[in-house]
Amino acid sequence: MPPVANPLTKVRKRLASCCFGPANFKNLPKDKDKVYDADAHRHFYRNLVPIQREIVPKIDEALDLACERLGLNRDNVHGFVKADPEINAFCRPGIRGNAVIFVNSGMIERLSMEELVYVMGHELGHYIMPLPTLSVPDGHGGHRPASMEDAVVHRKLEISMDRFGLVACRNLEVACSAALKIQSGLGAEHIRNDFTAFANETIKGYVRDFKEYEGEAFSSHPSAYARIRALYHYSQSEDYLELLGQKGGRPHADVDADVEKDLDATLDYFVVKLMEEAVEKFSHAVAALHLEMEGKIELSRHTIERRFKPDAEIVKSLAQDLGSLPPEERTKAASDKFAQLIHLAINRCPYTMTAHLDALLPKLEGTKVHGFASDLAKHFHEGLKAHRGF
């Protein structure tokens, strides 16, 4: 089939101001939206309930309205109801030229039509701006972002998707109400839309011990607290008001800065600490090995920017521990230790670690530890490829 013009170019240009953080349209694959295998979704009609006005009028109206307000051609958007009590919806990836949306029955039972418009807008955002981050099996039959760094990017992408949802429903309270119902699993008869009270209670769960967040750091979605506040910030922006045909509002940069503060107040602050810890442990271990091999070192060789400056006392202590082992055990002990540290960096901060190694190796040239460090870098990159399934 011959190439055709990207049908979403005009839509993306109009909605570019919805983007938050690193999520932007410039990173889209050039052939992502060319018409290809237009019937790839056909088998869903055999197994699920299609979203059509004659069958599920409330849901169809919500999808129609979301498409209209986002500027999408409904002919390219196919929706299906999935019999599942879990409150969830998702956009099927990998079907080029078509948006394929699934909405669980559990979500439909609890949300109003207006709230479903918000959900549809969010999911259509994944069609408009399909920028999936790398994922790996989570050990429980599902998937998670491939690293903490990938999770940070994914959470920012979800903020962008929420903005698409708000543009679609055009009502801040409706959008926040949908987010609260999704978080709680409750219907309107059981929950009040007191977003201030919810925020005041939710923020109590965050303490400053970053090690408490090891598991949560891989979450692909921001906290409900951050998402609801992000919706409020965006509703005050000049970008959002302009899309609604209104004037005024706060500058884009100021709004995004407030969203960043809320993300840092909940999870991302602690994730940065976990990522920095992984690099610091590796940096200290390399410096300690250097000291043990040569008897002295210049710590400036191991200093990469201000945030990765080895502590002399920690380096000395680690070197003493290594030196206290019998000579025949030192190589294995060092190898085992670095294998653990490489695994930690792959899971937490592969991009930061790659940059760290790229900066560190030239500074170690001419030292006895340079060859060992080069081997470590090789093992790191091999492990990273294996972890991601490349």
Which position has the higher pLDDT, 212 or 376?
A: 376
Q: What interhelical angle do 148-169 and 57-70 show, nearest 10? A: 100
DSSP 22: T
Q: Is the pLDDT of residue 235 over 90?
A: yes
pLDDT above 70 for 67: yes
pLDDT band at 146 (very low <50, low <70, confident <90, very high): very high
pLDDT, mean of residues 95-100:
80
Distances (CA, A) of 304 to 269, 309, 312, 352: 21, 6, 15, 11
* Span 190-202, average pLDDT: 91
**Mean pLDDT score of the chain:** 90
**What integer pLDDT is reported at residue 5 of this predicted model?**
55
Q: Which of 72-81, 129-138, 176-185, 235-244 has the lowest mean pLDDT?
A: 129-138
- Paired tokens of 110: 């609890």
The 10s digit of each residue's pLDDT in 248-274 is 999 999 999 999 999 988 889 899 999
Side-chain half-sphere of 158: how many Cα atoms within 13 Å? Answer: 19
Rounded Cα distance, 347 and 384, in Å: 9
Nearest to 35 by CA among 65, 64, 67, 73: 73
Pair 110, 89: CB distance under 8 Å: no
Report the chain's C-alpha Rg in angstroms.
Answer: 25
- Give residue 3's pLDDT: 46
What is the structure's pLDDT at 2?
42
The pLDDT value recorded for residue 1 is: 39
pLDDT at 101 over 50: yes
Residue 35 has pLDDT above 60, yes or no: no
